[in-house]
């Protein structure tokens, strides 16, 4: 009986190890992005630029960590700001170095302005400090300013596209020469 129980424990342990290996998620750090297939968690745009992408690893209450991918640090920062666990010390924020595409800690990165980024927030991240570079708090402030000034990202972009489509539809329904 003891031998049978021992064998069952071994099989259960082997099954758990197999399941853990299948997840391919170590529970910390960034993961590989499926370029041109994964979509930004905030704006739903396909992530294709390896030099401006970002990822957030977060821990929903009572669950394993989750990973959200973004096409721009602006989308990641604005999305994270709206989450109830944004201040959880376990939350990780990663951004691609705009020169190499390597993942770096977004909170310790230096941000260089005037970059051509997917969602036009204009910030490129790098690991080393640079004269005139922004720290994370300054970068977040810049992102909020851009969002307020242009208001054309995320949900606002979808609303604008719907308004434009409705306007085009209305214009098609006006008979020619009746204006």
Place 34 in a pLDDT band, splitting at 50, 70 and 90: very high
SS3 55: strand
Contacts of 142 (CB under 8 A, 6+ apart): 111, 113, 121, 122, 123, 134
Assign 141 to helix, strand or coil. Answer: helix
**Residue pair 53/46 in contact by the 8 Å Cβ criterion:** no
- Name the pLDDT band for 111 (thresholds 50, 70, 90): very high
| The pair of three-digit structure tokens given for residue 169, joined into one six-digit string | 């539809």
Contacts of 47 (CB under 8 A, 6+ apart): 33, 35, 36, 38, 39, 40, 53, 69, 70, 71, 118
The number of helix segments (H) and strand segments (E) in the chain equals: 4, 6
105: helix, coil or strand?
strand
Q: Tell me if 136 sits within 8 A of 71, measured CB to CB.
A: no
The closest alpha carbon to 71, from 147, 127, 153, belongs to: 153
Reduced to 3 states, what is the DSSP secondary structure of residue 79? helix
> Does the structure show a pLDDT above 70 at 175?
no
Which tens digits make up the pLDDT trace of 53-64? 999 999 998 889
Mean pLDDT of 31-54: 95
Of 113, 118, 99, 123, nearest to 47 by C-alpha is: 118
Structure tokens at 141: 């402030």
Q: Determine the average pLDDT of the residues in 127-152.
A: 93
């Amino acid at each position: 009986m003891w031998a049978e129980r021992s064998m069952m424990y071994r099989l259960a342990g082997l099954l758990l190890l197999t399941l853990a290996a299948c997840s391919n998620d170590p529970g910390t750090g960034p993961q590989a992005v499926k370029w041109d297939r994964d979509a930004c968690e905030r704006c739903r745009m396909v992530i294709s630029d390896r030099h401006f992408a970002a990822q957030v690893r977060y821990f929903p209450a009572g669950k394993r960590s989750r990973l959200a991918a973004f096409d721009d640090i602006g989308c990641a920062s604005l999305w994270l700001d709206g989450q109830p666990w944004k201040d959880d010390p376990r939350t990780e924020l990663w951004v691609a170095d705009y020169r190499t595409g390597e993942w770096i800690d977004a909170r310790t990165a230096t941000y260089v302005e005037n970059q051509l980024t997917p969602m036009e927030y204009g910030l490129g991240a790098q690991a080393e400090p640079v004269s005139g570079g922004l720290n994370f708090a300054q970068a977040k402030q810049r992102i909020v300013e851009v969002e307020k000034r242009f208001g054309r990202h995320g949900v606002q972009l979808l609303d604008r596209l719907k308004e434009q489509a409705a306007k085009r539809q209305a214009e098609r329904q006006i008979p020619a020469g009746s204006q």
